[in-house]
Amino acid sequence: MAQYYRYPTEQEFDALVVWCEKMGYAFVGLEDYLADDNRKKILVTFDDGFKIVKEILHPYMMRRQLPYMLFVLTDPLANPAFTIPTIKTNDTTAMFLSKAEILELKAQGVHIGFHTRNHTKILGSDRLTDESIKDQLTFPKEHDELFSKPLCFAYPYLAPENYGLFDNFMSDVLGYRYFFDTKGFRNSKGNHFFRVSIDIEKNVTRKNWIKFGIKRQWLSSLKQRSG
């Protein structure tokens, strides 16, 4: 669907899940992931809120009893024709979940987080003075019921370089507890947790994925010790 990579098939994704389970990892929700119990754990997250989540992904995740988090945009709720620039499609039907569909997923245990209103890339910290950027970080009050507690936010693409300033503002003023991007996620105190994105197109094989994972865990551990 996106121009710069292809999405894994259900069979490819299932093969990765099976392999992770064989390696001793448990798929858990946010609360269990944060518990300090020395288990090998994976927290699965999905961004954007495409309809395919409810049509294909959710039934698979429920069948396999795999908890997950979903970060959604809010502009598509009022505009069914909304698209993200990186999406290439000739389909004129709505590609994003409706509010009712998101609420249905939430009622079935999916933790719903915010992903900006329209997938805006957040850049330098000086943009915190830009009211339009503050709007992107703040979900519309009419959609308050969509979002699970604790409140979580996922930056589209990477977090800004000086993300701490954004995190502090979003924690102190907007009430978010956890912040996600493609490099990792952290709480409002700056404690980092390991996160990895899997990209089938870029040949992220099982072997180099686990090497990458070990390296990231090691770097994260060093950063926490030095902090």
Please give the Cα distance from 64 to 69 (Å, whole number).
15
- Residue 99's alpha-carbon distances to 16, 25, 96, 108, in angstroms, are 30, 33, 10, 14
Beta strands, E only, 49-191:
68-72, 111-114, 152-154, 178-180, 184-187
- Residue 94's alpha-carbon distances to 27, 62, 101, 129, in angstroms, are 31, 24, 13, 34
CATH top-level class of 10-226? alpha beta
CB atoms inside a 10 Å sphere around CB 142? 11
Give residue 222's pLDDT. 56
Return the domain boundaries, the chain: 10-226
Please give the Cα distance from 39 to 24 (Å, whole number).
9
* 224 closest CA partner among 196, 190, 175, 183: 190
Segment 10-34, tens digit of pLDDT: 888 898 899 989 999 999 999 998 8
Residue 154 amino acid letter: A
Segment 147-205, tens digit of pLDDT: 999 999 998 877 777 777 888 888 889 999 998 887 667 776 656 555 545 444 344 44
Q: Model pTM?
A: 0.80
